[in-house]
């Protein structure tokens, strides 16, 4: 169990995450890191209040949390986090909710961001990007959506599931609308990265090809419910790994995203969701 947790980036998702994990019984210390001030525009879907406008986010969030959970110790670091350079206290878990994509050097345990109506928990440690991107929401998310996403994070921490994900460097999506669906049979997640490789592709390639033997595959960029685009791969098009990679690569090549979480669903219809790595937190 984690007693001492650090949250980097407390603007929107990160503010709710810090608040949610503060409620966990065994969390005794929380370090929050952010260099920004609370602005009027932050009030729409964040944890902050009107009285917080103009204050450093670390001060405002500290006040919000300690007013509810008086036993927790909070350490505030008001500076821009730079991995390997920013000095942080010894901690059991580092959750990064910054609102843009960035290279990871091995310190961060999990990067959290929103894409469509999914929370993405990315526990890969060493990741580099050709292009760094500012975070952006693909759909409008409410305060309730972000609070629910933070509740999912607190469940992962409290159940120690995040430790398993860390050790295996897993990337997982969690649906805001259907949390229990992640345990469905015939659901596989892989990551498409920089047009060069798929993470976890070897164990997922056969299910994709097997599905396409009898069914056409509809490929959605974004979620099926709110897609950016959609493409149909005709039945028996995908015969081998090269076919899969080339088809998916051609579908995403005009999209301005660094990477995609790929979710394969086999139900009454077979479809793939290419969930963009948005960096939006």
Task: Please tell me the predicted confidence (pLDDT) of residue 19.
Answer: 95
Task: Please tell me the predicted confidence (pLDDT) of residue 186.
Answer: 47
Tell which of 180, 199, 225 closes a domain. Answer: 180
Is the whole-model pTM more than 0.95?
no
Please state, in angstroms and rounded to a whole number, the distance separating the CA atoms of residues 252 and 280: 19
In this structure, is residue 98 part of a structural domain?
Answer: yes
Task: Please tell me the predicted confidence (pLDDT) of residue 195.
Answer: 40
Share of the chain above pLDDT 70, in %: 90
In this structure, is residue 281 part of a structural domain?
Answer: no
In this structure, is residue 174 part of a structural domain?
Answer: yes
Does residue 235 surpass a pLDDT of 50?
A: yes
Helix, strand and coil content of the chain, in percent to the nearest 5, comes to: 30, 30, 40
User: How many domains are there within the chain?
Assistant: 2
Mind listing the pLDDT tens digit for each residue in 95-109? 999 988 888 899 999
User: Encoding tokens for residue 111?
Assistant: 């990067």
Segment 78-102 shows an average pLDDT of: 91
Mind listing the pLDDT tens digit for each residue in 165-185? 999 998 988 888 854 444 444
CB 183 within 8 A of CB 155: no
In this structure, is residue 125 part of a structural domain?
Answer: yes
Task: Please tell me the predicted confidence (pLDDT) of residue 205.
Answer: 76
pLDDT band at 202 (very low <50, low <70, confident <90, very high): low
Tell which of 180, 213, 241 closes a domain. Answer: 180
Residues 250, 253, 258, 264, CA torsion sign: negative
Are 175 and 197 in a shared domain? Answer: no
Q: Give the bridge partners for 4, in sequence order.
A: 29
Are 189 and 265 in a shared domain? Answer: yes
Mind listing the pLDDT tens digit for each residue in 147-165? 999 999 998 998 889 999 9
Range of the domain at 272: 184-276
């Amino acid at each position: 169990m984690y007693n001492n947790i650090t949250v980097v980036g407390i603007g929107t998702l990160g503010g709710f995450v810090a608040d949610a994990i503060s409620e966990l019984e065994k969390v005794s210390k929380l370090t929050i890191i952010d260099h920004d001030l609370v602005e009027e525009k932050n009030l729409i879907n964040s944890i902050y209040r009107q009285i917080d406008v103009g204050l450093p986010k670390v001060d405002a969030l500290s006040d919000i949390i300690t007013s509810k959970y008086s036993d927790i110790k909070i350490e505030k670091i008001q500076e821009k986090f730079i991995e390997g350079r920013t000095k942080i206290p010894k901690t059991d878990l580092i959750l990064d909710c910054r609102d843009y994509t960035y290279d990871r050097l091995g310190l961060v345990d999990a990067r959290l961001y929103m894409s469509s109506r999914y929370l993405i928990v990315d526990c890969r440690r060493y990741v580099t990007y050709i292009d760094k991107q500012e975070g952006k929401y693909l759909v409008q998310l409410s305060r309730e959506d972000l609070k629910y996403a933070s509740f999912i994070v607190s469940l992962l921490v409290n159940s120690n599931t995040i430790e398993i994900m860390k050790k295996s460097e897993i990337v997982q999506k969690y649906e805001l609308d259907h949390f229990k669906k992640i345990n469905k049979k015939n659901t596989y997640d892989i990551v498409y990265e920089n047009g060069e490789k798929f993470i976890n592709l070897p164990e997922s390639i056969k299910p994709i090809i097997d599905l396409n033997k009898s069914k056409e595959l509809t490929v959605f960029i974004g979620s099926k419910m709110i897609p950016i685009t959609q493409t149909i791969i005709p039945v028996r098009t995908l015969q081998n790994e090269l076919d899969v990679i080339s088809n998916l690569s051609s579908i995403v090549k005009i999209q301005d995203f660094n990477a995609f979480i790929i979710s394969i669903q086999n139900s009454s219809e077979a479809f793939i969701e290419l969930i963009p790595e948005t960096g939006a937190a």
